[in-house]
Chain A
Amino acid sequence: MPQLRLTGRGLWITVLIAPPLAFVALFIVYPIVAAFAYAFYDWQGLMRGDFVGLANFHQVLFVEPYASWTRNAFTHNIIVFFALMVLQNGVGFILAYALWRELPGARFHRVAVFLPVVLSTIIVGYLWKLFLHPLFGVVNQSLKAVGLPFLAQPWLGQDTTALWALIFANAWHMVGFPTLVFLAGMQRIPGEILDAVRMETESEWVKITKIVWPLVAPSATVVFVLLFVGAFNWFELPYIMAGLDGSPYGSTDVLGLYFYRTAFGNVSAGQQNFGLGSALAVLIFVFIAAVASVITVRLRAREIQI
């Protein structure tokens, strides 16, 4: 049996690891565990009431009006996920391919595409709120200027366009991230493999679908999983651009906003219920963890070593 001795090196390691470990335990592990526990109790404001078992979960999932609110928010998260899959990851892949092929101006565009990612979500949210202002916003002004006034809409003010406006702003903000990850993946493909394909076909479509796409599988895994987690944790951008109620009429409501409203209350709702909020938080967490693991495992399986 090896003996544990506190050597100088071991002491150093302990000293260096202990503070971050304590930090993680206090601010990440404890809240998660606590939320799990809270979800099983009845709450009166900040005062914990009786143990109620799965009643909170039952209420947010099956009792009206919570059930329809949950369904509404969850549906929006799903829309956000699939829309961003196309607008963010899909466009990111195409941009990465264009940058990788060293088209003229690639160097400038590499910076330009990534620049918005550096901005804080708060800034991007306010920026796009101004851009999308129905009267003075640069979007509608431009549409009018180029002779398309009928396309000028109150983008954030009507339920048919509000969610899509948010999705678009998010894609604009974050598209540089998948682009960068895909670009890094593409740059790992050996030049001779591409030469070998060029000897067999001149079709860009075949090159992309049969060679480049399968070979950037590791990058795809990363951006898919991160987008999934991001889409179901979506909060800051809708909070800033659409408010806690997911206005108008809940058309931009997502699980993050709904949880926040339920747990901490809101000017318009007035209710504040830690039990229901925690139940929602736990459901979101379990759902994300379960699906993200499945996605990761499945996508990992198709990765190959170059």
Chain B
Amino acid sequence: MARLSLRGIKKRFKTTDVLHGIDLEIGDREFVVFVGPSGCGKSTLLRLIAGLDPITEGTFTLNGKSMNDVPPSRRGIAMVFQSYALYPHMDVYENMAFGARLMGLTKAEIEARIDEAARMLRLEPYLKRKPRELSGGQRQRVAIARALVRKPEVFLLDEPLSNLDAALRSDVRLEIARLHRQIGGTMIYVTHDQVEAMTLADKIVVMNQGRIEQVGSPRELYETPANTFVATFIGSPRMALIDVTREGARVGVAGGGSQTLDRMPADANGAFKIGVRPDGLALARGNGGDGFAASVVYTEYLGDNAFVYARLADGTQVGIRTAPGEFYEPDEAVTVTIAPSAAHFFSAADGRRLAA
């Protein structure tokens, strides 16, 4: 059992406020991913949970007990670091045994735990090697195994894949997902990579500038982003945000055409933003007719499909998914139309989601 509860967590380094009041509940066996651009405070929040940095304000409880003043080693939390942080002078076995010995486990118990962790992460052939004799992927597996041996209630992983190359990254990602299913502990994972977040998480916490923007399942975040930040952060290529004004049943872009929409945000009369992902936009050659006039900027060919980037009359750039066979020349005049069902509506003033 591990339930974490963060209430009004603030963190200040000297005079800089890094976290401005974080409220978050994390349930048992949940896989939670903190995601956000660099500098958003996600790693800081992780370090507060680990106990590596003191909490300036607010309370953090684990299973109802306040952890604010408990040293990191007594929280029942293990952490996997971005640089792996293996002890360079100890072999793989010793790296795993070090923490277990400090916990006061019996020799037999330590042996058993190391055997189990080494088997799970396929490290048996490397137990006598020093970290420098291992590849990046192997080192990362040792770091994870070292955390496993302590049988913590909560696993923290701080950008564990960012030092690996792309091919290895997806392997270790699968490994982590499998491990979570197998051992079922609570995992908190920090990344700036939204693909990692989407593929691993039960629950994603999107952070920006020291605040939580939205908490939800990958699907919730993708389908009902709470604001323009989450809308553009999740999904690739990013969602287009188009500034429109309402003209009865039509919406228009300044100086560049209009189209009818059968859904409209309830409480927006004048101007608002429409967010559309690349597959919610359609493209037609030439200007005129229903839709927004645009000119092609460039085309990205990806084999199974292609993305055309076009600039609307007001300068907004939008990405449109098209069939890979269709080619558009740069500067070609095109007309972009929005599929009404794919439109998200956001307030022009503060970027918040507007109900349709």
A residues near B, CB below 8 A? 190, 192-193, 195-203, 206, 210-211, 214-215, 217, 304-306
Number of interface residues, chain B, beta carbon within 8 A: 26
**For residue B84, which residues in chain A have a CB less than 8 angstroms away from its CB?**
192
* B88 touching A305, Cβ below 8 Å: yes
**For residue A197, which residues in chain B have a CB less than 8 angstroms away from its CB?**
87
CB < 8 Å: which of A195, A196, A201 contacts B87? A196
* B82 touching A192, Cβ below 8 Å: yes
**For residue A210, which residues in chain B have a CB less than 8 angstroms away from its CB?**
98
**For residue A202, which residues in chain B have a CB less than 8 angstroms away from its CB?**
71-74
In the complex, what distance in Å separates the CA atom of A199 from the CA atom of B53? 12
* Residue picked from A200, A202, A210, A211, most chain B C-beta under 10 Å: A200
With A192-B81, A192-B85, A195-B79 known to touch, is A201 a contact of B73 (CB < 8 Å)? Answer: yes
Q: Give the distance to chain B from A213, nearest Cβ to Cβ, in Å.
A: 10
With A199-B78, A200-B98, A305-B132 known to touch, is A192 a contact of B72 (CB < 8 Å)? Answer: no
In chain B, positions 71-120 with a C-beta closer than 8 Å to chain A are: 71-74, 77-79, 81-89, 98-99, 102
| Chain A residue nearest in CB terms to B77 | A199
In the complex, whether B276 has a CB less than 8 A from a CB of chain A is no
CB < 8 Å: which of B71, B73, B89 contacts A304? B89
**For residue B310, which residues in chain A have a CB less than 8 angstroms away from its CB?**
none
Q: 5 nearest interchain CB pairs?
A: A192-B85, A200-B99, A196-B85, A202-B71, A214-B89
Q: Give the distance to chain A from B91, nearest Cβ to Cβ, in Å.
A: 11
* B88 touching A200, Cβ below 8 Å: no
**For residue B79, which residues in chain A have a CB less than 8 angstroms away from its CB?**
195-196, 199
In the complex, what distance in Å separates the CA atom of A196 from the CA atom of B87? 9
* B73 touching A200, Cβ below 8 Å: yes
**For residue B52, which residues in chain A have a CB less than 8 angstroms away from its CB?**
195, 198-199
Q: Given A200-B99, A200-B102, output 20 extra A-B contacts at Cβ < 8 Å.
A: A190-B83, A190-B85, A193-B88, A195-B47, A195-B50, A196-B85, A197-B87, A198-B52, A199-B72, A199-B79, A201-B99, A202-B71, A202-B73, A202-B74, A210-B98, A211-B87, A214-B89, A215-B88, A217-B89, A304-B89
With A201-B73, A202-B72 known to touch, is A195 a contact of B85 (CB < 8 Å)? Answer: yes
**For residue B150, which residues in chain A have a CB less than 8 angstroms away from its CB?**
200
Q: Give the distance to chain B from A101, nearest Cβ to Cβ, in Å.
A: 15
In the complex, whether B29 has a CB less than 8 A from a CB of chain A is no
* B88 touching A306, Cβ below 8 Å: yes
Q: Give the distance to chain A from B159, nearest Cβ to Cβ, in Å.
A: 11
**For residue B86, which residues in chain A have a CB less than 8 angstroms away from its CB?**
193, 196
Q: Give the distance to chain B from A267, nearest Cβ to Cβ, in Å.
A: 55
In the complex, what distance in Å separates the CA atom of A197 from the CA atom of B101? 13
**For residue A198, which residues in chain B have a CB less than 8 angstroms away from its CB?**
51-52, 71-73
* Residue picked from B47, B51, B87, most chain A C-beta under 10 Å: B87
Show 10 A/B contacts (Cβ-Cβ < 8 Å), sorted by A: A190-B85, A192-B84, A193-B85, A198-B71, A199-B72, A200-B102, A203-B102, A210-B98, A304-B89, A305-B132
* A195 touching B99, Cβ below 8 Å: no
